[in-house]
Amino acid sequence: MTNSVNLRAVVLDILMEINEHHGFSHLVLNQALLKYQYLDKSQRGFITRVAQGTVEKKIQLDYCINQFSKTPVNKCKPVIRCILEMAVYQLLYMENIPQSAVCNEAVKLAVKRGFSPLRGFVNGVLRNIARGLDDIKYPDEKKEPYRYLSVKYSMPEWILDLWKKTYDFETIVDILEGFSQDKKTYIRCNTSLKTPEEIRKVLEAEGVYVKGAAGLSYAYEIGGYDYLADLDSFKEGLYQIQDISSMKAGEIANPGFSDYVIDVCAAPGGKSVQAALKMYENAAASGKAVTGKVDSRDVSDYKLGLIEQNIERLGISNIDTKVWDATVLDEKCVGRADIVIADLPCSGLGIIGRKPDIKYQASIEKLEELVNLQRKILGTVYKYVKKGGYLVYSTCTINKAENEDNADWICEELGFEKCGNYIQMLPSKEEYDGFFVAKLRKK
């Protein structure tokens, strides 16, 4: 069965869905991998690497193609453009694949997709690039430093211009390098079922590589598995997949065993689960029973379904779910919450390393719209916080207008005060994504 699957055709379908139908790269890729789950791990790895790499390096790939093609890449048919981009990615970044194979397979793919008249064009461009890899001219790093970064890291220049207002050149390079690192998988142990050490032993017995992560006793980096959802430990709900930065935000919220917590934009439920488990851990440390609850909400049945899938698999009983639009006031909750978690819709500029299509779909106009939405939500949900309670505002972006400016606005306009400094985590070569957290106390 596996021999009948053209792996490059699968990649092409993924790229077309992302580029032409604006599908989210991580969702489109996951759907494809689920469909072709029966393929060998190495074959699924090829699909993942070429699809993700082509999206991630799109600006650089187009820059290279334009040096060797008489037809500008943005004038090419969408299918041809995708075929060229994925082939050039292989030429630049996958030296173990013969150049002749890359070129030949690209031509075959163009023919199979009904573009036989363009086979010569595809073949000519790719063979010229293959011969001229060492002659590709990039922007001058000294004369045009940010243009150079834009091409080298495939980052739109307007995003670099945005970051220039807050960070120096070296910090921006570190951010870009952080995005470029291979992304690790982290888990948050379900401490309501077993201790982290017990979970570690279960994973190792399943042949999974396990390593402690970022000083969090309940967090591990894992690897070496074939298909995570097939592991008994996953099915039994011994952990959830969660980024370290997201776990850190949960640490800052740190609800007590009797607290009432409202998570207003909760899907897929990671922070709700983190809050619920922190209640268990704080209860155990105090010798008490958990009496608190997490009220986990989002705007649609679909999003609520994602939360409930997680809760059911993990077997957590102190989370209630509710479909609710965060911009609409729930009168029953005014002044009741010990903690409101507001991890709001944002531009996502901090997680580009995991979801590279974000950088092509974002724009200044969309960022401004998001700030307005964020303040509309914040101007509603702050009312749920009781006096002396806390609002934990977080995003997964690197944008002062969505982060520090919004947190300052909450303090100045809504009657809150800072609890310590704001935390802006930046993408790093180690464990972090870009994440912002502000813990604010209601006066």
pLDDT at 2: 44
- pTM, 2 dp: 0.92
Pairing label, strands 216-223, 185-189: antiparallel
Q: Extract the residue ranges of the chain whose pLDDT is less than 50.
A: 1-2
d(CA 415, CA 384): 13
Structure tokens at 274: 């983190």
pLDDT at 3: 54
pLDDT at 322: 96
pLDDT at 246: 87
Q: pLDDT, tens digit, for every residue of 203-248?
A: 999 999 999 987 899 999 999 998 898 999 999 999 999 998 889 8
pLDDT at 438: 97
